[in-house]
Amino acid sequence: MTSADAPRTGKLARSAITGLAAARIGMAELGHRARQRTPQAQAAHEAAVGRILFGALGQLRGTALKVSQVLSMHPTLLPEGVRHELARAQHQALPLNRALVGREFRQAFGQEPETLFAQFEPTAFAAASLGQVHRAQLPGHGLVAVKVQYPGIAATVASDMQLMRSALRALARTDLPLPAGGVVDSVMDEIEATLLREVDYLQEAKQMQWFALHAAQPGVEMALPILSHTRPQVLTQQYLPGLPLHAWLATQPRQALRDQAGQHLWDWFMHCIFGLGRVHADPHPGNFLFTPEGTVGVLDFGCTRHLSEDFRTQVAQAWSALLQPADDPRRHARVLQAYQALGLARPDVSLQTYSAELAPALAQMQAWQIEPFTQAVFDFGTKTPPPVTRPADQRVLGHHLLQVPGEMPAFERMWMGLMHLLTLLGARVHTHSGSEVLQRGMAAPPAS
């Protein structure tokens, strides 16, 4: 397999790549305006713009690819064609060559990995957007997993975010349906803050300890970090048994085991969201391990998010209202009140405007979000895919939405990831652990 070199960290070179991408987006827009406007032409234009952005991000590598992944998972920020192209970043991580791995250890510990561990496998067995993982043997701990960050990653965060903002401003000058500038800015600010936490493995080690102490649930395992062998760019942790989801499914586990694993995931996430107010915000299938007994191991706590009590209350109130009959006169009022309390909807949006414009634009996404709560036992084998936001609806959202609350990008990414996991499992899940929270939300007084 081809090995990766360190990402380009020179500001001039990275700026040139983004500047060229912005110019190409402008040219693509001019060509699009000269052609006949049809749905097919619009889809082709979105895909072309997405390929331009992805090409630039692929050259930058570093945190740029991680930004690409995150943006592709935000359901209402970018047009569907653009998001589809950016989603290809999920498969772009390349392993580091041996020399770069050794350099990272010398910088972190002043030693080669072979002198720190009784045995160290130089070939990584897992790779991600920001680092790769090696097996090693450590006296007193046995088999451990050692995550090594790609060189130069931390140094590119601020510049990459500035460059991505420039690229999105280029998109805003096109006819593509995008949210208001304030919405885009709030999402990008949250992504930058998340990345700065994620490139600090000492911070991740603290999160691992916190979740292992507070989020323990039957059927869910979490590793503890080994602090003596952890630095900001190298994380050593207990080795968890199990197979990644796709490998586990290839063993053809019985439906009962899939149901059991899915129930563990559902209950654990409900406990984290509504009980603890802190979530694992990157539920990619590669971050979970599945055993023959149907237990689940949780990996990668670099991307976690605190959810304030007010945020959780308003989400519960909005979702509980959406579960009421469509002809309930309080339904729209309660949802709008929750959205305005979150700072999501503009304070001057009237109930009439919400009912006539915003509610229809949001209806498909809302229905998709709350679908598991509509049945006491939900079969995720029948879960509908995330809806595609139509350009006309995107424009309505851009007009009436004020900002994206700080917790919202991580929450939406977490929810989409959880739905994807459970759908891949085809699990049949008892949803009462979440439904009880929403019932309490319905009983709570509406926001003032």
Amino acid identity, residue 152? G
Buried b (16+ CB within 10 A) or exposed e, 172-196: eebebbbbbeebbebbbbbbbebbe
Rounded mean pLDDT, 49-63: 64
Residue 302 scores a pLDDT above 60: yes
Would you say 118 and 140 are in contact if contact means Cβ atoms under 8 Å apart?
no
Res. 442: pLDDT tops 60: no
Of the candidates 146, 184, 179, 170, the residue with the CA atom closest to the CA atom of residue 18 = 170
CA distance 113 to 388: 47
| pLDDT of the residue at 199 | 87
358-369: average pLDDT: 93
CB 147 within 8 Å of CB 299: no
The string of pLDDT tens digits covering residues 240-285 is 999 999 999 999 999 999 999 999 999 999 999 999 999 999 888 8
- What pLDDT, on a 0 to 100 scale, did the predictor assign at position 445? 45
**By mean pLDDT, which of 61-65, 203-207, 210-214, 343-347 is the weakest?**
61-65
Pick the range with the lowest mean pLDDT from 88-97, 321-330, 397-406: 88-97
Cα separations (Å) of 363 from 10, 56, 255, 410?
A: 45, 34, 32, 21
Count of CB atoms within 10 A of residue 361's CB?
A: 23
Work out the average pLDDT over 104-129.
Answer: 90
* The pLDDT of residue 215: 95
Nearest Cα to Cα of residue 277 among 298, 301, 306, 316:
306
Give the β-pairing of 288-290 and 243-244: antiparallel
Residue 196: pLDDT above 90?
Answer: no
pLDDT of the residue at 9: 47
Q: Cα dist. 38→207, 301, 360 in Å?
A: 49, 44, 23
- With a CB cutoff of 8 Å and minimum separation 6, the contacts of 6 are 100, 150, 151, 152
This prediction's pTM: 0.79
User: Is residue 369 packed enough to be buried (19+ CB in 10 Å), middle (13-18) or exposed (0-12)?
Assistant: buried
**Residue 201: strand, helix, or coil:** helix
**Closest by CA position to 147, among listed 80, 219, 199, 78:** 199
Q: What percent of the chain has pLDDT over 70?
A: 75
The encoded tokens of residue 102 equal: 């050794």
